[in-house]
Amino acid sequence: MPKMLTPAQIAQYEYDGYVHPVRVLSSVAAATIRAKLETFEAATGEPLKGDLRHKTHLLFTWLADLVRTTGIVDAIEDLYGPDLLCWSSSFFIKEARSLDYVSWHQDSTYWGLNKPNVVSAWVALTPSNVTNGAMEVIPGSHRMDQVPHRDTFAKHNLLTRGQEVMVDVDARQAVRIELEPGEMSLHHVRLIHGSPANPSDARRIGFAIRYIPTDVHQIAGEDSATLVRGIDRYRTFADEPPPCADMDPAAVALHRGITERNAQILYRGTTVGSYNDPLALADRSERPVS
């Protein structure tokens, strides 16, 4: 018996490569998480940016709790079984009236994982809809193999390398993933997806959590992950402990090391992500690592 998804939703994930909307938090709980994010931003005097958008669940207790939320992990178990790692997470924030967008891409392109049993739970912390640059997906495109991508490093592209698919995408086939705060969508790592800019007067905030079953391995370098359910019999990822407090110094140091290691995987074959290249670092500081 599935724990969270209906049999129809599981079939839709397999056939179309995505499911939405799935309510995983109350609107009040989602507003509380948003308020915690914005309290931190107010304290630092700037929007969350760069590496702080990547694997942020290793820095804040309220995000460590979010990646372990029963309803989310139950849904992932319905798709990939009982032994599960949270491999990564990324904030996708589009400020009000911003030109930031996400080009058509497959997540699998630079992640270095050995097989495509990888699912993203995109949790909405604000409404995400036609007015503010909601994500769009091409149903069934996950059934293609990995397709070639070109790196653009375009200024307003929120992806690490500004990567975009080198195949024609028929945008008329696209489905818009509209969500209310506290709802999530699930998408497969090979699904072609992207999102336009946010011309509205309000921020659009999503937190994308990447889950894998424990038999998925990293083949492009050293990596780490958080066990969120069951047993890891493979132990190919180093364990990631939750932070004992928000921005705890030990957690910040751990996060920095992990982010630098992840950047080497995600930017491999380019000089742009290199920590030895100050120009490259300036460019990278605006981008989440995803």
Q: How far apart are CA 223 and CA 221, in angstroms?
A: 6
Which residues within the stretch 168-197 sit at the binding site for ligand AKG (CB under 6 A)? Answer: 193, 195
Q: How far apart are CA 147 and CA 269, in angstroms?
A: 17
With CB under 6 A as the contact rule, the residue among 86, 135, 179, 212 that binds ligand AKG is 135
Q: How far is the CB of 49 from ligand AKG (least distance, A)?
A: 15
Residue 203 sits in the site that holds ligand AKG (CB under 6 A): no
Build a one-symbol-per-residue string for 245-284: x at contacts with ligand AKG by CB under 6 A, - elsewhere. ----------------------------------------
Cβ neighbours of residue 237 under 8 Å, at least 6 residues apart? 85, 87, 218, 223, 224, 225
Residue 92 sits in the site that holds ligand AKG (CB under 6 A): yes
Q: How far is the CB of 237 from ligand AKG (least distance, A)?
A: 20
Q: How far is the CB of 165 from ligand AKG (least distance, A)?
A: 12
Q: Chain-centre distance of CA 210, in angstroms?
A: 6
How far is the first Cα of the chain from the last one, in angstroms, to the nearest whole number?
33
Residue 141 sits in the site that holds ligand AKG (CB under 6 A): no
Burial class (CB in 10 A: 0-12, 13-18, 19+), 70: exposed
Omega before residue 21 within 30° of 0, cis: yes
Q: Chain-centre distance of CA 56, in angstroms?
A: 10
Q: How far is the CB of 156 from ligand AKG (least distance, A)?
A: 12
Q: How far apart are CA 98 and CA 202, in angstroms?
A: 10
Q: How far is the CB of 277 from ligand AKG (least distance, A)?
A: 25
Q: How far is the CB of 135 from ligand AKG (least distance, A)?
A: 4
Build a one-symbol-per-residue string for 110-129: x at contacts with ligand AKG by CB under 6 A, - elsewhere. ----------x-x-------
Q: How far apart are CA 20 and CA 271, in angstroms?
A: 37
Residue 205 sits in the site that holds ligand AKG (CB under 6 A): no
Nearer to ligand AKG, 122 or 237 (CB): 122
Interacting residues toward ligand AKG by CB under 6 A: 92, 102, 107, 120, 122, 135, 193, 195, 206, 208
